[in-house]
Amino acid sequence: MVLVRHDDKTVITMANDYQGDPTEFAMVVPVPQVLQREQIHVAEQSLIDHLDAYTAPRLVEYFDENPCMRRDYEARLMSKSAPQSVGIAEEDAAGRRRELGVTIEATYTVGEYDILILSAKQSGGLETWLTENEYRIPDGASKVLASYIKQGMKFFVAKVNLEEQGKLGTSNLRPLQVAFESPKFMLPIRLGTVNADGPQDMIVYTLTTKGRVETSNYRTIKLPSDKEVPLFVKDEFGEFYSAMFDQEVKKTGMTAVFQEYAWDMAWCDPCAADPLSRDQLRELGVFWLNPSPDRSGGQGNIRVRPIQPGAQNVFVTRLHVRYDAEHFPQDLKFQETGDRTNFQGRYVLRHPWLGKNNCPGAEEYRAGLREREERQAQELASLTGWDIAEIRDRMNLAEGPTPGPWWKKIWNN
């Protein structure tokens, strides 16, 4: 999910990861108002892929210099997760809808999606209408639907139009975007927990003006960063990061939202990927930026090329949450802070110097190398929960640090 927010205006971009036949896919999102056709848009997946690459957790490498007389190298790796969603809805006879208290407020075809905007008087009628129209409604949906109806919310329903999708020549579903105004800065997640097969992972990117975004009804904490890990993690960064995230979720009892990145979009140091351009951010809904002028074309068609590729006054926050109905009984509520402190998930590989030079500095370096590698092994075990003996074995380390003189153990010297 990408949330663009300024004042009471919100643009949400939803990239859906689904399993099964596209004929069975549908998505429902509670929205605060009946959306007009122009408030709904289909985006390109490349926009979110670029944002993901720009904010992704990073692995960096450094090479130790010759201790007798520094160069660094960095590798970019990233992990992705996409939210899952729940489906509903198709048009039925007007009389039956009135009987059940369901109203189709609007209907559109946008790209490869057929869109309905529904309202309902009570959850039982809405649930019955959905079931009669061959939507699979899981147990427990009525209670969640009722809470949104009580708030006066409408239901944005999207289903795949196979004919329109066929014209695109692709089986992938492009992200859907909706724009609306509401004093509430929130993301409805409870419907997605009703039919979920276990906990779900979701990454939320927020684009705002003042600074970092955090959840106001759940804890927001930073993931461990700037940790030194063994060299073999380079080939297993995805597995490492997944295990570390699992470990952090366990430590918090799956009750927290994790911050993975926070930075001013105008710059980065260093960049995991180029910052998004002004036009790309406009496509994601950053409405307070003007399109990039371009100084090309003939007389009467003057365009001015932007001076900088990065956008000004856009702060990006990347949040990662694992949730289910038990641990996240409320929708996610957000607040924008004035904190513009930079943060990124960053993990360090340090290659040892392997030269043959002999000097006092080299002797001291080699003597401390074994202790450094042991610290790396213990750090990795702590971060991931992996077995310390297996980590040492993969690093070609003996069991534990080299023991000192026997007499040091007597009085803990």
Q: Which residue has the tokens 């419907």?
A: 191
3-state secondary structure of 134: coil
Same domain? 324 vs 365: no
Largest CA distance in the chain: 92
| Alpha carbon distances (Å) from 407 to 11, 370, 398, 400, 403 | 68, 22, 22, 18, 11
User: Pick from 326, 351, 376: which residue ends a domain?
Assistant: 351
Same domain? 172 vs 220: yes
Per-residue pLDDT at 28: 81
Q: Which domain holds residue 335?
A: 2-351
Per-residue pLDDT tens listing for the chain (413 residues)? 999 999 999 999 998 766 666 666 777 888 988 999 999 999 999 999 999 999 999 999 999 888 887 333 333 333 333 333 323 333 335 777 788 888 889 999 998 888 989 898 888 888 887 777 766 666 667 888 888 888 989 988 888 887 887 777 666 788 999 999 999 999 998 887 777 778 999 999 999 999 999 999 999 999 999 999 999 999 999 999 999 999 999 999 999 999 999 999 887 777 788 889 999 999 999 999 876 655 444 444 433 334 445 556 899 999 999 999 899 999 999 999 999 999 999 999 999 988 888 888 888 888 889 899 999 999 999 999 999 999 999 999 865 455 566 666 666 55
State the virtual CA torsion across 81, 18, 206, 52 in degrees, nearest 10: 40
| Model confidence, pTM | 0.81
Position 382 in a domain:
yes
Per-residue pLDDT at 260: 96
Task: State residue 100 phi and psi, 5-degree precision.
Answer: -90, -5
Q: How many CB atoms within 10 Å of residue 14?
A: 21
Same domain? 112 vs 184: yes
Same domain? 183 vs 321: yes
Same domain? 357 vs 344: no
Same domain? 295 vs 399: no
Are the C-beta atoms of residues 227 and 356 closer than 8 Å to each other? no
Same domain? 214 vs 281: yes
Same domain? 217 vs 268: yes
Are the C-beta atoms of residues 273 and 54 closer than 8 Å to each other? yes
Output the six-digit token pair for 271. Answer: 């960049």
Task: State residue 96 phi and psi, 5-degree precision.
Answer: -65, -40
d(CA 180, CA 5): 10
Output the six-digit token pair for 408. Answer: 């040091």
Per-residue pLDDT at 16: 76
User: Pick from 351, 378, 397: which residue ends a domain?
Assistant: 351
Per-residue pLDDT at 5: 96
Same domain? 342 vs 358: no
Output the six-digit token pair for 377. Answer: 């092994």
Residues 124, 127, 129, 134, CA torsion sign: negative
d(CA 173, CA 177): 12
Position 413 in a domain:
no
Position 368 in a domain:
yes
Position 46 in a domain:
yes
Per-residue pLDDT at 126: 83
d(CA 227, CA 224): 7
Which residues, 6+ apart, have CB-to-CB distance to 263 below 8 Å? 55, 315, 316, 342, 343, 344
Q: Per residue, what are the HEC states of 222-284?
A: ECCCCEECCHHHHHHHHHHHHHHHHHHHHHCCCCEEEEEEEEECCCCCCCCCCCCEHHHHHHC
Ranges of beta strands (E only) in 113-216 are 113-120, 154-160, 176-181, 186-187, 200-208, 213-215
For residue 13, the cross-strand partners are 2, 177
Q: Indicate the number of domains in the chain.
A: 2
Which residues, 6+ apart, have CB-to-CB distance to 58 below 8 Å? 74, 76, 77, 78, 272, 344, 345, 346, 347
Position 332 in a domain:
yes
Same domain? 404 vs 306: no
DSSP label at 36? P
d(CA 15, CA 302): 36
User: Pick from 313, 330, 351: which residue ends a domain?
Assistant: 351
Output the six-digit token pair for 62. Answer: 């450094």
Same domain? 374 vs 248: no
Are the C-beta atoms of residues 39 and 179 closer than 8 Å to each other? yes
Same domain? 307 vs 385: no
